[in-house]
């Protein structure tokens, strides 16, 4: 019996999400999806695309529907395959033992599709392994990589691709695409990978490589992709990278309801999406569920360790590090987890050592580059931090943490123009994250561009102000600009926000109360002035001055009439921030998102 997906809200072959057409899963039979996965696992494994084969097998196991053997696709091998079968089988054994040069040599005369792919793929893997082994120092990628092998592969695969009769199949196009991407020919790589997934939509590795090349919604809209159920999971991955987490979560939940609830891959992606949405409670709960489902899973545990690090859960992070070490001591994820553990204990040298170990295992492991940059920052080694962050961006330009880290580094070096550029790049990648906007305001402030700084701090407040410092910084700016009524209202709102919340900076609170006490004294609002001055006596920084101020208020009270206070009006439109750096005449690549103009009215 054929079991379809059920999603009553959807109809037709597609539905739109974030202006992108997403395949309607209700049009695909669950049993056919399982048959597709059986085919995909076998074909990927035959070509030693291990990660794609594992992905197919994991999802396959989560589907309880039975499949009629008649529904399974029968692969007809091309001419010459069986004549080359012996060499192909031996080459697979060599490949599994990481003897890539031997595998390539055994297949040197093979022409049929599968052996030919493995021959070229073995050459590619041999080159990648040698580059990793010969990397002199894992925190230095300044040496230009020699790409002679990649260029040889490009020439060979391009010639094969242009041969209409004996051209590349979908898997061959995938290899051609990753070679082009490695050579920074990204536009051509994108088109070749689109051709690859069109010819062979069940190769998950090709979809993932294509996802890395999609950096914005415009690029995504321009892709002509096949209407296949696997496209939905690709879109979910891309949506997550483009900060469209709600859309990604909708797709993952649709799969979970459609018969994939036991898929550890989907549960892991949901956990990561919750973390990106800053819903840390749900993220931790989902990761715990994942550990129950798949207790020996190492994949994604590095992301879980980042979450535990941010929440400063030392004991749980120590337990996770011990568990990962007992499962696979030498995986990149385990090295990252242990590095985070030492970082949380402020043992930064040991943390760097483990991040370097991770990079020795996989030089393209972007989290290790970024986290190692953070550790060098803790050790005040700015040059090493800059190199680590730049290495991260060589792997993936979408890593906002690396852009942000570079901004922090140049801020320490007192180079605000450089810092401003990097903070802009980070903010363009995380437009709804207040933590990306506040440093922009601080840079503008250091450059005496106070009006732009004011807009940034207000935008951070509108975005939720995770660190709860935007209002205080905004109030300070109003005070500097002699906009006293606005400063009073901003300080008052900051105090209201801080009321009853632990962890606020006492110095900031004392300064806020001190300003309010003097402001209300100037405006002869005796009750407000006395109350604020009384609060100042609770802080060591303002206690003595506050006692004198209280005597002044008592003396003048009743002798003078209070003054009226004007309400504050501020145009918070982000449009008023120049999108060109006035010192360099350089436009950022991604401007601020538009913020709706707001009349800022605080109630003191």
Residue 264 domain-assigned (yes or no): no
| Per-residue confidence (pLDDT) for residue 346, from 0 to 100 | 94
17 forms bridges with which residues in the sheet?
20
**CATH assignment at residue 409:** 1.25.40.10
Q: In terms of domains, do 401 and 475 share one?
A: yes
Q: In terms of domains, do 378 and 313 share one?
A: yes
What helix, strand, coil percent values describe the chain, rounded to 5? 65, 0, 35
CB 240 within 8 A of CB 211: no
Q: In terms of domains, do 402 and 383 share one?
A: no
Residue 328 domain-assigned (yes or no): yes
Residue 342 domain-assigned (yes or no): yes
Question: Distance (Å, rounded) from C-alpha 472 to C-alpha 497?
Answer: 10
Question: Distance (Å, rounded) from C-alpha 176 to C-alpha 160?
Answer: 10
Q: In terms of domains, do 350 and 377 share one?
A: yes
Alpha-helical runs (H) found in 379-469: 382-395, 400-412, 416-429, 434-446, 450-462
Residue 276 domain-assigned (yes or no): no
From 449, 482, 515, give the residue that closes a domain. 482
Q: Which region holds residue 200: left if phi is over 0, alpha if psi is between -120 and 50, else beta?
A: beta
DSSP labels, 293-356: HSTT--TTHHHHHHHHHHTT-HHHHHHHHHHHHHH-TTSHHHHHHHHHHHHHTT-HHHHHHHHH
Residue 525 domain-assigned (yes or no): yes
Q: Which of 591, 575, 568 is nearest to 471 (CA)?
A: 568
20 forms bridges with which residues in the sheet?
17
Q: In terms of domains, do 403 and 469 share one?
A: yes
Question: Distance (Å, rounded) from C-alpha 129 to C-alpha 9?
Answer: 48
Q: In terms of domains, do 471 and 527 share one?
A: no
Residue 322 domain-assigned (yes or no): yes
Residue 31 CA: distances (Å) to CA of 68, 69, 70, 200, 363: 8, 11, 12, 19, 39
Q: Which of 353, 319, 349 is nearest to 336 (CA)?
A: 353
Alpha-carbon torsion 318, 324, 328, 333, what sign?
A: negative
| Number of residues that make up the chain | 604
Number of structural domains (the chain) is: 3
pTM exceeding 0.75: yes
23 forms bridges with which residues in the sheet?
14
Annotate 82-114 with b (16+ C-beta within 10 A) or e (fewer).
eebeebbeebbebbeeebbebbbebbeebbbbb
Residue 413 domain-assigned (yes or no): yes
Q: Which of 47, 52, 45, 53 is nearest to 115 (CA)?
A: 47
Crossing angle of helices 113-133 and 85-96, in 10° steps, is: 20
CB 216 within 8 A of CB 19: no
Q: In terms of domains, do 385 and 402 share one?
A: no
Q: Would you state the structure tokens that stand for residue 88, as one six-digit string?
A: 């192909």
Q: In terms of domains, do 329 and 371 share one?
A: yes
Q: In terms of domains, do 386 and 403 share one?
A: no
From 390, 417, 442, give the residue that closes a domain. 390
Q: In terms of domains, do 428 and 361 share one?
A: no
Alpha-carbon torsion 591, 592, 595, 597, what sign?
A: negative
Q: Would you state the structure tokens that stand for residue 15, as one six-digit string?
A: 């539905």
- Opening angle at CA 61, ends 324 and 367, nearest 5: 35
Q: In terms of domains, do 448 and 520 share one?
A: no
Which residues 6+ apart lie within 8 Å of 295 measured at CB?
none
Please, what are the averages of pLDDT over each run of 10 residues along the chain (604 residues)? 38 59 83 92 96 96 82 74 94 96 95 94 94 68 73 94 81 97 94 96 97 92 93 95 92 92 95 92 96 95 95 95 95 96 96 94 92 96 95 91 95 92 93 90 92 92 87 92 92 85 78 92 90 91 90 80 51 44 39 29 31
22 forms bridges with which residues in the sheet?
15
DSSP labels, 468-532: S-HHHHHHHHHHHTT-HHHHHHHHHHHHHHHTT-TT--HHHHHHHHHHHHHHHHHTT-HHHHHHH
Residue 503 CA: distances (Å) to CA of 177, 321, 468, 469: 50, 29, 10, 12
Q: In terms of domains, do 410 and 472 share one?
A: yes
Neighbour tally for 206: CB within 10 Å: 29
Residue 437 domain-assigned (yes or no): yes
From 335, 363, 390, give the residue that closes a domain. 390
Q: Which domain holds residue 509?
A: 505-556
Q: Would you state the structure tokens that stand for residue 474, as one six-digit string?
A: 């905004």
| Per-residue confidence (pLDDT) for residue 142, from 0 to 100 | 53
């Amino acid at each position: 019996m054929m079991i379809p997906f059920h999603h009553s809200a959807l109809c037709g072959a597609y539905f739109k999400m974030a202006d992108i057409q997403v395949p309607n899963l209700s049009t695909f039979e669950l049993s056919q999806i399982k048959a597709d996965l059986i085919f995909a696992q076998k074909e990927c494994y035959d070509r030693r695309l291990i990660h794609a084969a594992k992905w197919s097998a994991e999802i396959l196991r989560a589907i309880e529907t039975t499949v009629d053997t008649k529904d399974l696709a029968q692969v007809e091998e091309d001419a010459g395959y069986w004549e080359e079968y012996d060499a192909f089988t031996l080459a697979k054994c060599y490949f599994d033992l990481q003897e890539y040069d031997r595998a390539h040599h055994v297949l040197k005369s093979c022409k049929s599709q599968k052996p030919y792919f493995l021959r070229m793929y073995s050459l590619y893997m041999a080159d990648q392994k040698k580059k990793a082994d010969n990397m002199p120092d894992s925190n230095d990628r300044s040496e230009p990589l020699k790409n002679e092998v990649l260029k040889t592969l490009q020439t060979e695969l391009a010639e094969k691709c242009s041969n209409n009769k004996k051209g590349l199949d979908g898997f061959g196009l995938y290899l051609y695409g990753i070679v082009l991407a490695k050579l920074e020919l990204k536009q051509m790589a994108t088109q070749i990978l689109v051709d690859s997934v069109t010819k062979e939509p069940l190769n998950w590795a090709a979809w993932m490589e294509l996802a890395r090349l999609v950096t914005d919604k415009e690029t995504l809209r321009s892709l002509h992709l096949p209407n296949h159920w696997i496209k939905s999971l690709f879109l979910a991955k891309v949506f997550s990278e483009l900060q469209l987490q709600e859309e990604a979560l909708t797709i993952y939940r649709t799969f979970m309801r459609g018969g994939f609830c036991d898929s550890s891959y989907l549960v892991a992606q949901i956990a990561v999406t919750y973390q990106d949405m800053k819903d840390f409670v749900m993220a931790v709960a989902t990761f715990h569920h994942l550990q129950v489902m798949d207790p020996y899973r190492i994949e994604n545990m590095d992301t879980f360790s980042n979450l535990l690090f941010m929440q400063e859960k030392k004991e749980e992070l120590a337990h996770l590090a011990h568990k990962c070490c007992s499962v696979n001591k030498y995986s990149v994820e385990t090295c990252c987890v242990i590095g985070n553990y030492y970082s949380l204990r402020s043992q930064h040298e040991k943390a760097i050592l483990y991040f370097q170990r991770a990079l020795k295992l996989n030089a393209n492991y972007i989290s290790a580059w970024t986290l190692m940059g953070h550790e060098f920052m803790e050790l005040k080694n700015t040059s090493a931090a800059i190199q680590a962050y730049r290495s991260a961006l060589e792997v993936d330009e979408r890593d906002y943490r690396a852009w942000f880290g570079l901004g922090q580094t140049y801020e320490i070096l007192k180079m605000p123009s450089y810092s401003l550029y990097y903070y802009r790049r980070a903010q363009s990648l995380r437009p709804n994250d207040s933590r990306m906007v506040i440093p922009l305001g601080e840079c503008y402030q250091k450059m005496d561009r106070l009006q732009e700084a004011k807009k940034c701090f207000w935008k951070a407040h509108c975005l939720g102000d995770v660190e709860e410092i935007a209002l205080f910084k905004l109030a300070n700016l109003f005070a500097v600009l002699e906009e006293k009524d606005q400063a009073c209202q901003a300080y008052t709102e900051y105090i209201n926000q801080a009321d009853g919340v632990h962890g606020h900076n006492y110095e900031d609170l004392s300064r806020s109360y001190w300003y309010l006490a003097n402001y209300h004294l100037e405006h002869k609002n005796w009750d407000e002035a006395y109350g604020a001055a009384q609060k100042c006596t609770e802080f060591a920084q303002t206690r003595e001055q506050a006692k004198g101020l209280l005597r002044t208020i008592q003396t003048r009270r009743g002798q003078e009439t209070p003054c009226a206070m004007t309400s504050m009006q501020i145009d918070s439109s982000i449009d008023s921030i120049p999108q060109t750096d006035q010192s360099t005449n350089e436009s950022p690549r991604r401007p601020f998102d538009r913020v709706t103009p707001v009349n800022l009215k605080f109630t003191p």
